[in-house]
Chain A
Amino acid sequence: MKKVLNGNEAVARGFYEAGGLVSASYPGSPTVEIIQTLIDEYDEIYAEFSINEKVAVEVGIGASIAGARTLVAMKHVGVNVAMDPLMTFTQTPINGGFVLISGDDPGMSSSQNEQDNRILAKFAHMCVFDPGDAMEAKVMTKEALSISETFGLPVMVRMTSRVCHSRSIVELEDRVDRVVSGFSKKIEDYGMIPPHTFKKQYEMKNRIAKLQDFIESSPINRLEDDYRSDVLIVTSGLMYQNLKELNLKLDVLKLGVVYPLPIEQIRALKKRYARVIVIEEMMPFIEDELKIHGIACEGKEFFSFTGELMSEAILKGLEGAGAVEANDAEVIEATETVNRFSMFCAGCPHRPVFDILKKNKVSVIGDIGCYSLAVLEPFELVNTIISMGASIGMMKGMSKAYQMAERQEPLVAVIGDGTFYHSGMTGMLNLLHQLDPDYNLTLLILNNGTTAMTGGQQTASSGYYTDKSDMKVDMETLIRSMGFERFKRVDQFEYKAAKKVIDEELKYEGLSIVMTTRACALQYKIVKPHYVVDPDICIGCRSCLKTNCPPILMKAYEGHDKLKSSIAKEMCVGCSVCAQVCPVGAIKSSSAGEV
């Protein structure tokens, strides 16, 4: 049977067909749908969104050591968080096949950086597969599990955003059931301290060497030499598809596995071709590998080191390299028009909070989540974004630096609940350590009960918002039990009351923690009647506009010369924030009369 699947759904399908049993992840673009699909569609598989990527890998290691086929998925930066257990796990032998899906993001469509995780995989002695579409993603996930077991090492399937979110036709096969063999209890294999670890260094090297021998003649790397050109293109994954699109008369070695490489095969090929040109996105990984092994090749000098390499860029690069003839077809320019950036949703509970902060003219140490949008117009309020859970630790470092320099400057940090549990908690504990009781620090915890940016996965405190959750951590009890005393809860839709509390806490000399309590508007829909503006009362002051709610717009009303506010009724969810900030009471619920 054939089905159209996107790359993420195809990975999930491959894991299912391969008899996979245990999977774990932390939600992050572009790989979030892998676990979501396993949860929604495949009851045979245990799938969880763990507290963070490190924990997800730990869950996976346990399952694999017990003998189950295991999949762990995360976005590229998530692998950094998981690197510690991973680096040692790659020393131990593999029992149940272990595959790590890394979702790289060339062009950073939804990430804070653009790292090339093929390099991390090599660093950790992992084999790397590079699929180019959904069908390959399914096939390679299965192949990766079997290589993992045959050669005894963890395998990375390195996806990119484009492959994760591109659909193509996938041939479905049946699931094979596999026995869980159980833990072998060999201390020398799993007890990773010296003297056991000495041997492991050699074992890791040998595993990769054996795998490389196998790769030399594996059909997973495919030579297409129909054209007998004098240039050989070496490429993989989506770059192969983008190249094929151009229909050029060039011979191609299409790699399915990009680490380890079939070095001897390529060395032999180099004798047949005058030039070897490598086409790859981001870092010159394949190119460097070839050069390390003394195989002369070209590559990055013709192609961008950053962003996605689309067909047009590949053609330009190859023209620049003189590998194909240049043609100067007319260039079509992009259409220039008004730009459009992302913004907070209608009824988003973050908006009143940032409106209050903006009125206080404070700078804010930010974190990662929907509230990162406050970096952009019109708030432009959050001043730093580094990584998940970092804001609390950073606030401590900043305050210490200021204290050492004998400067006083109130500091404000924000963090979401997902991020707090992910890795903010440890920063929180660290905050207690050598805390100056008089330094003005304010931590705002935006507890909206979800990881909203990735589609609303649950967090440890989601229990308050839905009964589907199996966790109900009480944030306040947790934080108080750590030893923090000044903790306030606010309902930010009670705008004036919330503003009063936040204003006070911002002034408080010492550490204060404020937790907001409204749930994500997208995930837990507010269904209230929409609000309407009375143009006769409105004085056009634009206070409501500044809350940045999508339905609010200034418009010309008949019989009024000044622009007055208006609310698009099909977008408004009726949260009432605009009505509360209006100084003259021009905004009212439609349930109060006129619709």
Chain B
Amino acid sequence: MKSYNIILAGVGGQGLVLTTKILAEVALKAGYSVKTNDVIGLSQRGGKVWGSVKMDSEVFSPNIAVGQADFVIGFEPLEAYRHCYFLRKKGTIIVNTHKIPPIPVMFEQVAYPEDIYEKLDAEYELVKIEAVEEAMKLGNVKVANTFLLGALASRMMIDKSIWIEAISENVPRKTVEANLKAFDAYFEKQ
């Protein structure tokens, strides 16, 4: 079975924990051994947060060494960029393009960096998704992360039915349908 190392990066409050959990469930159902790091600490209040998922036939540490990740899922562009050095050469970075300005930007001390995508595109496979805008079209901002999952799933060798099962079991019941639509949107595009 092909092993996968995935880093998730975003801003506190964006739902990284649930996404990490769904990825772990997918791995379990697909017969992997899996370990993850969840988001911890103070940063849950709008700070920078990251998690990791490692799936293999046997996994020891939940940590992914720098340069060893196959995928980085960026829930926010700046955070995607901050964590890109975890990627192996030619790894894939999937980015939600919706910006959340950090305090130094809000207070006009520095500008929000404009060249993020150029830099990422030069070294990695870059997938940009306007997840918040697309989610609002589906009538539910909360499904934004599932667009990213769809794009990830289409690049991994795990059966689609497993993803659908894991998503349906873990998102709030009322949002299952919207989430599956969001998942399909980028799974189909592949």
Contacts and interface: CB of A to CB of B under 8 A. Distances in A.
Interface of A: 2-4, 6, 29-30, 109-110, 133, 161-162, 164-169, 238, 241-242, 244-245, 310-312, 332-335, 337-345, 370, 373, 377-378, 453, 545, 548, 550, 552-554, 563, 570
Contacts of A169: 28, 33-34
Contacts of B79: 340
Which 8 residue pairs of A and B lie closest in terms of their CB atoms, listed nearest first?
Answer: A110-B41, A109-B41, A340-B102, A342-B47, A165-B38, A244-B60, A245-B61, A167-B36
Given A29-B41, A109-B41, A343 B46 contact: yes
Interface stretch (B17-25, B146-154, B157-165, B176-184): B17-25
A554 B105 CA distance: 9
A241 B54 CA distance: 13
Contacts of A310: 61, 63, 65
A110 to B, nearest CB: 3
A78 B136 CA distance: 43
A338 B113 contact: yes
Nearest to B110: A338
Given A133-B35, A311-B61, A109 B102 contact: no
Interface centre among B25, B46, B83, B105 (most CB of A within 10 A): B46
Interface centre among B38, B81, B83, B113 (most CB of A within 10 A): B38
B6 to A, nearest CB: 13
Interface centre among A2, A3, A334 (most CB of B within 10 A): A334
Contacts of B37: 162, 165-166
A245 B35 contact: no
B40 A337 contact: no
28 contacts: A2-B28, A4-B24, A6-B38, A110-B42, A162-B37, A165-B37, A165-B38, A166-B35, A166-B62, A167-B38, A241-B62, A245-B61, A311-B65, A333-B85, A340-B11, A340-B46, A340-B78, A341-B47, A342-B12, A342-B44, A345-B13, A370-B45, A453-B42, A545-B107, A548-B103, A550-B106, A553-B105, A570-B141
Given A165-B37, A167-B24, 10 more contacts: A30-B41, A168-B62, A241-B61, A244-B60, A311-B65, A334-B82, A335-B85, A338-B105, A343-B47, A548-B103
B172 interface: no
A310 B52 CA distance: 14
Contacts of B167: none
A110 B40 contact: yes
Contacts of A334: 66, 82, 85
Nearest to B98: A570
A85 B63 CA distance: 38
Contacts of A563: 108
A573 B107 CA distance: 21
A383 to B, nearest CB: 18
A406 B62 CA distance: 58
Interface in B58-74: 59-63, 65-67
Contacts of B41: 29-30, 109-110, 161
B95 interface: no
A526 to B, nearest CB: 15
Interface centre among A167, A238, A378 (most CB of B within 10 A): A167
Nearest to B104: A338
Nearest to A29: B41
A166 B24 contact: no
Contact of A238 (B21, B48, B61): B61
A109 B50 CA distance: 12
B141 A4 contact: no
Contacts of B42: 109-110, 342, 373, 453
Nearest to B63: A310
B61 A242 contact: yes
A550 B66 CA distance: 31
Nearest to A342: B47
B130 to A, nearest CB: 13
B67 to A, nearest CB: 5
A168 B35 contact: yes
A29 to B, nearest CB: 6
B21 A337 contact: no
A332 B81 contact: no
B43 interface: yes
B7 interface: no
B40 A29 contact: yes
A377 B103 contact: yes
Contacts of B131: none
A245 B63 contact: yes
B117 interface: no
A553 B106 contact: yes
Contact of A337 (B24, B38, B59, B82): B82
A164 B38 CA distance: 9
Contacts of B25: 4
A504 to B, nearest CB: 30
B39 interface: yes
A139 B157 CA distance: 33
B62 A332 contact: no
A342 B102 contact: no
A241 to B, nearest CB: 4
A339 B12 CA distance: 14
B106 A552 contact: yes
A249 to B, nearest CB: 15
B20 to A, nearest CB: 7
Interface centre among A241, A333, A342, A377 (most CB of B within 10 A): A342
A31 B10 CA distance: 23
B8 interface: no
Interface centre among B35, B61, B78, B81 (most CB of A within 10 A): B61
B102 A30 contact: no
Nearest to A563: B108
A245 B61 CA distance: 6
Contact of A312 (B48, B65, B82): B65
B94 interface: no
B35 A335 contact: no
Contacts of B36: 4, 6, 166-168
Contacts of B78: 337-338, 340
Contacts of A548: 103, 106
